[in-house]
Structure 1
Amino acid sequence: MGVVGAASAALLLSVVPRFEGVVYRGYLDPVGIPTKCMGDTHDVVVGQPYSDGECRESLETQLIAHAEPVLKCTPGLKGRTYQLAAAVSFAYNIGASAYCGSSTARRFNSGDWRGACRAINESDAGRPQWVTSGGRVLPGLVKRRAEERELCERGL
């Protein structure tokens, strides 16, 4: 995980499995997306078992695949342990393209660190955002966004 640095990597390897949960088989998530291990939606075979080693490798591969575009579209995050970890976790869940087009990314790029962190879970109008899937609010996403925002705000 040299892409993000040791400290951010350690945070990601601990928080993402907690947010995603760990399931050692392919399954359908709450809105029907084929998923495996720790939230990986790539090359999933529903019902197929996956080993602990396969799941760890899958997580590392997907975190790198999300960290690279996060750093490309928000280069100011390099060296900012907590904000980078929060941004990669956020992108891991919503997708790198959605992250790069988000108000969070725009605010990081403008130097509005607190505003970027706030935008992880709150719109400019003060309403919750990024907490729905399949058109419904998921309590797990509400909790995740609050924790990503809290992580992001560390050290500011």
Structure 2
Amino acid sequence: MISKRLVAASFTATLCVASAVVTHFEGLRSKTYLDPVGIPTICYGHTATAVVGQVRSTGECQALLDADLTVAINAVDTLVKVPLTVERRAALVSFVYNVGQGKLAGSTLLRKLNDGDVAGACEEFDRWVYAGGVKLNGLVARRAEERSLCEVGL
């Protein structure tokens, strides 16, 4: 009984922290736009069902964010084989939300983390600041925040 409550509390805490990071860096845009590499995007960086010309309400955007973050949490929980603090888990969830599960799956960041090199894994966030070969200031700031969360408790 207590274990289920702890799992739920951990999930909720991760969702709250990751949501704060994602909404800060993505911002809310209710009409579809093309991201820096030309991918149709809407709301808080949602891409999976976004099509050019689409408009979403704030409530619809929040529902998309919650669903997308849940997918990202599940991806992190599947890929990471070591215990995570809420902050480290949230950093990884924000990262997956932004770049996708496949990028984390094949990353040095994940390998170092699963090998027990937490500090080295956290340093890897700094490498993920390019989109379409261009270094983006927004990604630099986002990765700095994710790295900071990753390093809590080190």
Question: What TM-score, normalized by structure 1, do the two folds share?
Answer: 0.89
Q: 2:107 aligns with which of 102, 111, 117?
A: 102
**Which position in structure 2 is the counterpart of 1:10?**
16
Aligned to 1:133: 131
Tell me the alpha carbon deviations over residues 42-82 of structure 1, each in whole angstroms, 9 at most, x when there is no partner. 1112222101110001011111111112111103245x101
Identify unmatched segments of 5+ residues in structure 1. 122-128
The residue correspondences of 1:43-58 to structure 2 (distance < 5 A) are: 43-58=49-64
Equivalent residue letter for 1:139: N
Alpha-carbon distance between aligned partners in 1 of 2:32 and 2:90, rounded to the nearest angstrom: 26
For residues 83-106 of structure 1, what are the alpha-carbon distances to aligned partners after superposition, in whole Å with 9 as ceiling and x for unaligned?
100011111111101111111111
Whether the 8 Å contact between 1:77 and 1:84 is mirrored in structure 2 is no
Residue of 52, 64, 67 corresponding to 2:73: 67
**Counterpart residue identity of residue 138, structure 2:** G
Distance 1:155 1:108 in 2: 15
2:30 is the alignment partner of 1:21? no
Q: What is the aligned partner in structure 1 of residue 4 from structure 2?
A: none
* Structure with the bigger percentage of helix: 2
Flag structure 2 segments of 5+ consecutive residues without an equivalent: 1-6
Q: Percent identity at matched positions? A: 44
Q: Rate the CA distance shift 1:96–1:77 in 2: closer, same or farther, 3 A.
A: farther
Corresponding residue number in structure 2 for 1:87: 92
Post-superposition offset of 1:149? 0.3
Find runs of 4+ consecutive structure 1 residues off by over 2 angstroms: 1-4
Q: Is the 8 A contact 1:70 1:100 kept in 2?
A: no
Relative to structure 1, the CA distance from residue 3 to residue 32 in structure 2 (aligned partners, 3 Å threshold; closer, same or farther) is farther
2:3 aligned partner:
none
Preserved CA contact (<8 Å) 1:73 1:100: yes
Please say if 1:38 is aligned against 2:54.
no
